[in-house]
């Protein structure tokens, strides 16, 4: 997982290039929390994550 400093650096670079982005984190949900077949799967965080993913993609990809 990126550190807060790494997230800030990435946000700065994306902003400098005029990119549209959002960052979200979910407490107690580490790497692979969306993977239903892994011990890391976190159902509540996965549902919230997919909702945010689709909310972001729909207007930007005309889905």
| pLDDT number for residue 23 | 94
Q: What's the pLDDT tens digit per position in 20-37?
A: 999 999 988 988 999 999
On average, the pLDDT of the chain sits at: 93
**Beta carbons within 8 Å of 38's beta carbon, 6+ residues apart:** 32
Which residues, given as ranges, of the chain have pLDDT below 70? Answer: 63
Q: Where are the domains of the chain?
A: 4-61
Q: Which residue has the tokens 């790497």?
A: 31
Contact 46, 34 (CB under 8 A): yes
| pLDDT number for residue 63 | 64
Contact 62, 46 (CB under 8 A): no
| pLDDT number for residue 35 | 96
| pLDDT number for residue 40 | 95
């Amino acid at each position: 997982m990126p550190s807060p400093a790494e997230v800030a650096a990435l946000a700065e670079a994306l902003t400098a290039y005029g990119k549209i982005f959002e960052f979200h984190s979910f407490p107690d949900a580490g790497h692979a929390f969306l993977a239903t077949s892994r011990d890391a799967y976190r159902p509540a965080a996965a549902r919230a994550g997919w909702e945010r993913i689709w909310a972001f993609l729909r207007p930007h990809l005309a889905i």
